[in-house]
Chains A and B, each alone.
Chain A
């Protein structure tokens, strides 16, 4: 899967005098007078390919747009793409290849926490830079990683407050697939519900193996407990079975609304609904920072460009947008630092802004390398899109090590 893309013979660097190569690249990275090479490390085969494809596409779009604008410090971005193949040791091996043999300027990649954990020691030891797009459980902050998705508190706390204040939810049933992200997220959710929301309690917490397709017993338990809020963090193919069976068992947004109940998820995006079918999820709520239907100029341009490049029937979920931020934030950071060197980028990252972000506006936190972002609630529509019905008034500060949530 390796190959350099986008080379151009007649490219001349307009700002070479101002940024000579021996000044902007003192550590032997793959930077020439006219090009800078970056790595892209996602799964394009294996079970995670379904999720990571959108990230690959978004990063490619951003890089193409940056090149069309004249590149970074006058240098055109070239890509070496490697396939992590949904296999964590493969991710580690390919990360080492990109950093040690290829000496890429930065890497855009990873999706699951497992893959990020696998490459993290390599990025720290070889001193590389990773732009990581997925919303995740937090409890991490490395100087070698920029986290462009939400950490747990940015997605969970505000959403639970919304369910409590706007929908009057007092009892919560927490459901998840059985791995680290849903378990940590639900742990934070439980603490928030029990300590910080008045008179609220958790009436159930359940995990099912990844890929599980039989939710009959769980659905019966939900019926028995009658929670005001069904809080779902089920991922991947299980998602489809879960919603289809909820629907078949007579649990729809309408039937829930009659009893003052809601379903709120932090794991179902436009990507998943494509497989589930909009009719099965109509009226349920999701808490994300981005929805394809966001009504602002940045997003309209982004959606149009994405569809032009990757086909008119493609959909854009939360993580896809976060992946799109990576190359832009890296460009802004390199230009701020006036250098491609990793240490220079790492030092310059704090406070870097991206005003054209499709989600509105983002800024890298001064110390923890996560993004200030808004949180939003979307209501699922039959056509597979979301209607945005609530938005946090301010940007929410990223807090990967929340006090009082351990």
Chain B
């Protein structure tokens, strides 16, 4: 029955039309990939490196999105000339605000829970509810969205039939840029070295003079800051509401756990495979069924391979 539907779907179309659809469909998978990757990057650092199960991660994304909306509203109100250029600044500001919030949350909250990783689950879930209510009281319950500069709107007509959305390309660019940046930071910088040393053996790292507490704080804050950038980037495709973060948190955890916590390559692979599979299934079946298939497959694979797709090769203490 479904198979028949597959075939009959393309009946009566020219080869060119079908090719155009396949190109656009491929791109829609890519832009879903960039959304997943961008969401997961921050969490991959926090969960992967620190083993903190941060259920409030989505709320840092919301903080980034609200920062963007706030700046966009300000530009509309008092500096219309700035409107075409505000977006990169908004992303930087989103990073800054989310980073600062993450820093404070680590000091006031997370650092007491490092010895009790499962309790972080409960504590950060509570934090996420508190933050959602704060957003609701501050910004109101309605959906908000940022005013997009013209260069982020519309599509690029590659040919007569192929339209590639510009916001999709922008997202893809942003997530590639951020991934490279995170990789450089983790693998090639002194700071990344300290993070990895702390993760692998805290006592030894401390003995060599690394301030592990400060490293923890910066790692957590950085993860949150990256979530803030993701939130800013997502205002190009959707809206923000007080509970927007909770829409993303499940997918984000699936990507990170499926990829193998602590491995950047794993996160990229997981984001890519889940996004492409979902996008293709959505095209041939429908959105709800696609989601069910993906979740079942991920559960199945994790049962056979609990460590995820890619295992980071570190010696366990």
Contacts and interface: CB of A to CB of B under 8 A. Distances in A.
Interface string B244-279: 100100000000000000000000000000000011
B154 A275 contact: no
B21 interface: yes
Contact of B21 (A50, A223, A250): A223
A46 B246 CA distance: 12
Nearest to A53: B141
Contact of B287 (A178, A237, A274): A178
Interface of A: 45-47, 49-50, 53, 178, 206-209, 211-214, 216-221, 223-224, 236-237, 239-241, 244-245, 247-250, 271-272, 274-277
Interface residues of B, number: 47
B167 A248 contact: yes
Contact of B24 (A208, A211, A220): A220
B157 interface: yes
Contacts of B212: none
Given A237-B241, A249-B165, A221 B154 contact: no
A324 B287 CA distance: 36
Contact of A247 (B136, B154, B241): B154
Given A178-B288, A209-B288, A271-B142, A244 B238 contact: yes
**Considering the complex of A and B, which 8 residue pairs feature the smallest CB-CB distances, nearest first?**
A216-B28, A275-B143, A240-B239, A208-B287, A217-B282, A248-B165, A49-B141, A241-B238
B78 to A, nearest CB: 17
Main secondary structure of the interface of B (DSSP, over half): helix
B166 A45 contact: no
Nearest to A208: B287
Contacts, number: 131
Nearest to A49: B141
Contacts of A275: 142-145, 239, 241
B136 A45 contact: yes
B164 to A, nearest CB: 9
Given A248-B165, A248-B166, A224 B155 contact: no
Given A248-B155, A272-B143, A276-B145, A213 B279 contact: no
B279 A216 contact: yes
Interface string B226-239: 00000000101111
Interface string B26-46: 011101100100000000000
B154 A250 contact: yes
A275 B247 CA distance: 17
B237 A245 contact: yes
Interface string B6-23: 000100010001000100
Contact of B283 (A50, A217, A250, A271): A217
Contacts of A244: 145, 167, 236-239
Contacts of B155: 248-250
A213 B145 contact: no
Contacts of A224: 9, 13, 17, 21
Given A50-B143, A250-B157, A277-B147, A241 B239 contact: yes
